[in-house]
Structure 1
Amino acid sequence: MHLVEQQQRVVMAEPETAAGAPAEPLVRPAPHRWIWYALGGGLPARHRGWVLHDTTTGTWWQRHVARSLVQVAIPIALVMALLPAPWGLRAAVAGGGLALAMLYSLAYMPEATENRVVKAGYPAGTATAVRDRAGLVRQQLESERKRAAAAKRAARYRERSGR
């Protein structure tokens, strides 16, 4: 198998649980349940594996930002609709609120994702451990890829120089 394909397969594979057992099945929640989950609610037990996947996949931080934007959408919409002020001021207030909300959301991103995993029934620290393990695997694969590329370059150099 080609090294890049192997790396993609490892990165995209389902995470393992903290005990090292195979991951639970990934049952994606329905849209209304996902909105509830994005707003901070819990999901039924059948979505437990998906919650771990959601908080540990390679795009976990983008998913966190999307959930944060869903949380902020309601107050921003209320400010834009109900604030008795000119549209420019409403937009400025909404923009400031959005900026502040995203600042706090990004500052507490690891803690917020851990809280979601704990709500799903995993021990605290599981999401961080799974992300760290996946990062180590990616680093090892990248090191192997670089070593193989360096060996190829060295072989080409030896061929050209006649050594």
Structure 2
Amino acid sequence: MQRPNPLQWVLYAFGAGLPASKRDWVLRDVTARTWVLRHFARTTVQLAPIAVVLFVLIPGPVWVRACAVLAGLCIGFFYSFAYMYETTEHRAMKAGFPRGTVAEVRGESTAVERAEAEERYNERWRS
């Protein structure tokens, strides 16, 4: 599995597709145990330049500019959170996977984790 270089990752964070050789990495990126953190890292990369530009361009005292930018960031992260399942599914489809692959892979890993947790529970409390 090949990871993208930093420039490719930044472009990927902004929605660009990756080469076919990175296809497996994209699926891992959107289905790994830390996929939510990865999603918010991509969102932060998308919102940071806009936040800096707005902070510099908005007139007024620093605290007003900071509050305005912070409010905008809150809205941006809210929408990112609201659409994170659809966004990750779209990224996988852009990499060439059929619709539903992300949910299927996450479901398999969740089932394995659930079975392991049940086994630990039974060993501890049912024996």
Normalising by structure 1, we get a TM-score of 0.75
Q: Distance in 1 between matches of 2:61 and 2:125?
A: 62
Q: CA RMSD in A?
A: 0.9
Q: Which amino acid aligns with 2:84?
A: M
Matches within 5 A, 1:93-104: 93-104=68-79
* Residue type at the aligned position of 1:150: W
1:69-88 superposed matches below 5 A: 69-88=44-63
Aligned counterpart in structure 2 of residue 143 of structure 1, from 118, 121, 124: 118
- The residue number in structure 2 matching 1:91 is 66
Task: Considering fraction of residues, name the structure with more helix.
Answer: 2
1:1-163 equivalent positions in 2, closer than 5 A = 26-151=1-126, 154=127
User: Where in structure 2 are there 5+ consecutive unaligned residues?
Assistant: none
| Number of equivalenced pairs | 127
Once residues 103 and 49 of structure 2 are traced to their aligned partners in structure 1, the CA distance between those partners, rounded to angstroms, is 30
Q: Percent identity?
A: 42
TM-score of the two chains, using structure 2 as the length reference: 0.96
Please report how far the alpha carbon of residue 66 of structure 1 lies from its aligned counterpart in structure 2 after TM superposition.
0.7
Consecutive unaligned residues in structure 1, runs of 5 or more: 1-25, 155-163
